[in-house]
């Protein structure tokens, strides 16, 4: 039978490492663009939106739907990149084993 104390210590160490990774992800950024750079989105590794930059050229046409689509596309791409970054960092902790509920 495994030593419960040792297992608890390992679980606490893993929890501390996960908290450290989460903190580090909060300070790392990804950037995504859409419309050939007309919309740029920056997001941190915790999927928090930091900035949205919209090129003035988009406003000249007055196409509200196009702008909305460009923003959605850029945000979704930034979110995907942030998730990929977080998964990569967590896989370092778990040795590449997929642990349900992490991401």
Beta-sheet pairing, 49-54 with 29-34: unpaired
pLDDT tens digits, one per residue of 25-50: 999 999 999 999 999 999 999 999 99
CATH of domain 4-94: 3.30.1310.10
Q: Is the pTM of this model over 0.85?
A: no
pLDDT tens digits, one per residue of 60-93: 888 899 999 999 999 999 999 999 998 888 888 7
pLDDT at 100 over 70: no
Listed in order, strand segments (DSSP E) in 1-89 are 29-34, 39-44, 49-54
């Amino acid at each position: 039978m495994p030593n419960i104390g040792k297992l608890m210590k390992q679980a606490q160490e893993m929890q501390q490492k996960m908290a450290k990774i989460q903190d580090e992800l909060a300070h790392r950024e990804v950037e995504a663009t859409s419309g050939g750079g007309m919309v740029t989105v920056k997001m941190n590794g915790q999927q928090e939106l930091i900035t949205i930059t919209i090129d003035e050229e988009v406003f000249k046409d007055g196409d509200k739907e196009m702008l909305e689509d460009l923003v959605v596309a850029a945000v979704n791409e930034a979110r995907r990149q942030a998730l990929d970054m977080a998964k990569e960092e967590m896989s370092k902790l778990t040795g590449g084993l997929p642990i349900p509920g992490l991401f």
